[in-house]
Amino acid sequence: MKIFKKILKYGGILLAVLIVVGGLFAAHTWYFKLVNINLFFARTMMQMMAESPEMMSTLRVLEPIGIKGH
C-alpha cells in the first residue's frame, strides 16, 4: 500500500509539472519571441481565426473534431 501511495504521489507531481511546463511554453509562444518559425505561423493563424470566426468555417477547422452545427 505504501508503494501505491508513492507511485500516485510522484505521478501526480510529474503530471502537475508537465501541465505547468506546457502552460508556460504556450504562454511564451503566444506572447514572446518564438522558438520555431512554424510556431509563428500557427500563432498568426490562431490570432486571425480569433478575430474572424467565419474563417474557421471557411477553412473547415471544426469539422474534423466533430463540430458541425456552426
The 10s digit of each residue's pLDDT in 11-61 is 999 999 999 999 998 888 888 877 788 888 888 888 888 888 788 777 787
The answer to whether residues 49 and 61 touch, using CB atoms and an 8 Å cutoff, is: yes
One-letter amino acid at 41 equals: F
Distance between CA atoms of residues 54 and 27, nearest Å = 25
pLDDT above 70 for 70: no
Q: What pLDDT, on the 0 to 100 scale, is given for residue 55?
A: 80
* 2-29 CB burial, b ≥16 within 10 A, e <16: eeeeeeeeeeeeeeeeeeeeeeeeeeeb
- Torsions phi, psi of 39, nearest 5? -65, -30
Write down the domain spans for the chain: 1-32, 33-70
pLDDT above 90 for 66: no
